[in-house]
Chains A and B, each alone.
Chain A
Amino acid sequence: MSILVNHDTRVLVQGITGQHGSFHTGQMVEYGTKVVAGTRPGGKGREVHGVPVFNTVAEAVRETGANTSIIYVPAGGAPDAIEEAVAACLPLVVCITEGVAVNDMVRTYEVVKRSGSRLIGPNCPGLITPGEAKVGIMPGFIHARGRIGLVSRSGTLTYEVVNALTQAGLGQSSAVGIGGDPVIGTSFVDVLTLFEADPETDAVVMIGEIGGTDEEVAARYAQEHMTKPVIGFIAGQSAPPGKRMGHAGAIISGGAGTAAEKMAALEAAGIRVAIRPGDVAGLVKQAIGKA
């Protein structure tokens, strides 16, 4: 039955009147997502793409029964926006914002960890369950309903792989962009756990990149706890050490976090690793016996 978002998802947009918030609210509504409310302090009474605006998250939740928040608030205010959503007890909070200060996220992550809310991001494209709900900035129309789960630290690279899967006749149960920052709310392991438990997912594609050790941890988890096949791809095989490659998290420091180390860890855990993104769909077909 897919993961995290579906027909019952009722979306609240924090920062709905901003340029990105407003544009993507239109895109989500067009996709068929139930966008029920937006917030902007002092914006009460306005409407954006037919969606009513409230002053605070608590008020919006009370009035509309929103159960998922998506945040387009600029970096300086994003941690506060996350904590406002958590205080309103929203079970799912998705933060799109890029460029949040790391120490701010360390503090906010402590709050999220102790709450009942799940945070996706920040610095992520959001997540989608094709045909049911798009809570993010991804182009909805490249997705198709199906039984392949996808989890990624990247944006356009995810679209690239989703597009290739769809063209190969492999639809997706859900696709989750967990974000490219060093401190994010939901890890690969968290999403793999959800896909493993989802009866409508047959196999999972995991797209990682250089930096940190989350991919290695996920590989160990997959080996020990998953029955479903996992197919991996790691971006940044050609990246030089010590240089930040766009994403704040994509930096190889002190030798740890290279693509080669991650690919080796994945393969050692029995995960099939694609050398090129174009090879992912073929490996998925092999894994589920449709080659």
Chain B
Amino acid sequence: MNIHEYQAAEILSRYGIPLNAGQAARTPDEAAAAARALGGTVAVKAQVHSGGRGKAGGIKLAKSPDEARDVAGRILGMDIRGHTVNTVLVVPGVSIAAEYYVGITLDRANRQIIVMASAEGGVEIEDVARTNPDAIYRTPVDPVRGLLNYRAVDLAFALGIEPAAVGGFGEIVKKMALAYLNEDASLVEINPLIRTEDGRWLALDSKMVLDDNALFRHPSHEMLRDMAEENATELTAKASGISFVKLDGNIGCVVNGAGLAMATMDALQVEGGEPANFLDVGGGANAAQVAKALSLILADPNVRAIFFNIFGGITRGDEVAKGLLAGLEQVPTQLPIIVRLAGVNAEEGRRILATANLQSAETMEEAARLAVAAAKGEAA
């Protein structure tokens, strides 16, 4: 689950990380009031679940409350990589002596949590990884005890931080690791972490991603969810045990199993079509699940054809076919439907489907071709 910068900042401040504390604002007047309260030059920052805010013009300096009102007026409502800005964060302007990137995440290849840090602060870490990979230093986090002190110190020296400032840097990174473990995050990032000209450490921008699978341990995290940033259909699907991702194509897909669902999307693309969604209906593919899946797909006005790809395993093909027909009865549609049923008792299943007004295919490739043709409005 993604959360906003100001929410991540609230969490990290509870761990004692020095933040450039500001105020969230939802209107230009609120932004002006925040700037007045903070005094001096402020930065007005768009709050969206997306990187590249600076480049998109979503972060601006303002020298007065009036200018803050002006700037906020331009940023609120702005679209940044498909995300609408509903909130801005107003923070005090600071004078920067040095800036660093520090991020904690899972290193999948080594199955451990690591700190990544570089002296190229303020730049997206993906860009540094591409252009100057040797500038990124890594050290592991103990999943029980957190970041050990000597590792934090090592990291600080590797980054070229002056000895007097090493301790302060280490404390911040250790606190970040503690937050990562205690909050069950999958990312804790401060970028940039700065040294001010008067020698203080300050987190200028923070980001956290929380592990959906650990939300059961953190009921309060659910309140951090920004419904405006989530896809309503995806949330409805999740509640029904269906895994759904909206895509840009016009062929609706209903598949059992995540791997097969991805392979189905691929098959459509190989045949020159585009999937309207990823959809894993779960193991059974019974009438109720099929009906729910159909409702999700039909909510998308772009859909021109529906492709069922079901592998009958433990739930045999004939049962799947009956469930499918019952589901189609509950949620009727005029769109062309292509069904590919494979696995155990598939032939019997196909015989049952033959009684209905839909196209049936034996292989995934053949079904994909039929679906692509149907979506283009061609008779197969």
Contacts and interface: CB of A to CB of B under 8 A. Distances in A.
Q: Do they bind each other?
A: yes
Interface stretch (A6-14, A58-66, A210-218): A210-218
A221 interface: no
Contact of A214 (B109, B125, B266): B109
A156 B313 contact: yes
A247 B257 CA distance: 9
A159 B214 contact: no
A159 B258 contact: no
B213 interface: yes
Contacts of A212: 108-109
A165 to B, nearest CB: 13
A142 interface: yes
Given A154-B260, A250-B262, A239 B278 contact: yes
A183 B266 CA distance: 25
A209 B257 CA distance: 13
Interface in B245-299: 245, 247, 255-263, 265-270, 274-275, 278, 280
A101 B111 contact: no
A277 B263 contact: yes
Given A246-B258, A255-B126, A259-B266, 4 more contacts: A138-B313, A212-B108, A237-B266, A254-B125
Interface stretch (A37-45, A85-93, A105-113): A105-113
A160 B260 contact: yes
Interface string A214-256: 1001000000000000000101111110011111111000110
Contact of B262 (A101, A109, A236): A236
A235 B129 contact: no
Interface string A264-283: 00000000000111100000
A239 B263 CA distance: 10
16 contacts: A76-B216, A107-B143, A139-B314, A142-B344, A158-B259, A182-B106, A183-B111, A209-B259, A210-B262, A236-B265, A243-B278, A245-B243, A246-B258, A246-B280, A248-B213, A259-B266
A103 B143 contact: yes
A215 B237 CA distance: 30
B181 A245 contact: no
A158 B274 CA distance: 23
Interface in A63-117: 75-76, 99-104, 106-107, 109-110
Given A159-B343, A183-B111, A275-B270, A107 B144 contact: yes
B190 to A, nearest CB: 17
A217 B278 contact: no
B196 interface: no
Contacts of A99: 213
A210 B108 CA distance: 13
A183 B213 contact: no
Contacts of A25: none
Contacts of B111: 106, 109, 183
Given A183-B111, A235-B266, A245-B262, A155 B106 contact: no
Nearest to B274: A238
B108 A155 contact: no
B365 interface: yes
Interface string B350-366: 00000000000001110
Given A106-B112, A210-B262, A276-B365, A139 B216 contact: no
Contacts of A250: 258, 262
A245 B270 contact: no
A170 interface: no
A183 B106 CA distance: 9
A247 B259 CA distance: 8
A27 interface: yes
Nearest to B279: A246
Contacts of A174: none
A247 B258 contact: yes
A103 B266 contact: no
Contacts of A237: 266, 269-270
A182 to B, nearest CB: 5
A240 B311 contact: no
Contacts of A17: none
A152 interface: yes
Contacts of A217: 109
A3 interface: no
B211 interface: yes
Contacts of A249: 108
Contacts of B278: 239, 243, 245-246
Contacts of B171: none
Nearest to A155: B257
A210 B245 CA distance: 15
Interface in B295-342: 311, 313-314, 342
